[in-house]
Amino acid sequence: MKKYIIGFCLFLGSFLSLATLSCQRSAPDILDGRIVFLGDSITQDGRYVTVFEYELFKRYPQVDIDVISVGLSSETVSGLTEPDHPYPRPNAHERLGRVLAALKPATVIACYGMNDGIYHPQDDARFRAYKDGVLRLVAAVKATGAQAILLTPPIFDAAAIPERVVEYDAEKFGYATPYRGYNDVLADYARWLESLDDKDVRVIDVNG
């Protein structure tokens, strides 16, 4: 988790620099209206959101803005669940419409990917499910008039859990026994996000 926090702190500097330039963009200003964070347990944990909110109000004390986090543990945008997971992982799309309707954000900051590869080696079908899920999320956010900001999945640190990680030829993979090279999967997700050709979507890399 320490590496996640370091990565997100780096993201904050880049993000707030981008915010000062937002008046040059056609997308809504990050400082105009409610900001809603979506994501999995990393977002539900709340620490990086708290740091973001602190930095936001420290730099812009005159701004009257809501920051709301609705991260949900285990959630994915891909709709995938590993076979040995104790319950079906929540699918962000099941609640996305309700969240957008209830909270009416001007900006949605979403961080998905850590759970979406379900801790397996890279696979075309899983990668496509992640891509489709992200694009659906972006379309839903833009349909409300809000702007979408996508954070890449952060680093998976196999060295932090050496007793749990397994090799490529393991019989099964999942949260309890993740693939040792899983960060390579997340890096692929991050590079794809950065390649998105949409001038109205910001992508901020916290994996590189």
Q: CA angle, 27 as apex, 23 and 32 as ends, to 5°?
A: 65
**Distance between CA 47 and CA 53 in Å, rounded?**
10
In this structure, are strands 147-151 and 201-204 parallel, antiparallel, or unpaired? Answer: parallel
- End-to-end, the C-alpha distance of the chain in Å comes to 16
**Distance between CA 202 and CA 70 in Å, rounded?**
20
Q: Are 118 and 80 in contact (CB under 8 A)?
A: yes
Q: Which amino acid is at 8?
A: F
Q: Which sign, positive or negative, has the C-alpha torsion 100, 43, 115, 197? A: positive
**Distance between CA 78 and CA 93 in Å, rounded?**
9
User: Given this model, what pLDDT does residue 173 score?
Assistant: 98
User: Given this model, what pLDDT does residue 10 score?
Assistant: 56
CATH of the domain at 96: 3.40.50.1110
Query: Which domain, by its residues, includes 109?
Result: 2-204
User: Given this model, what pLDDT does residue 11 score?
Assistant: 58
Is this model's pTM higher than 0.85 or not?
A: yes
Regions in the chain scoring below 50 on pLDDT: 1, 13, 16-17, 20-28
Residue 28, classified by CB atoms within 10 Å of its CB into exposed (0-12), middle (13-18) or buried (19+), is middle
Total domain count for the chain?
1
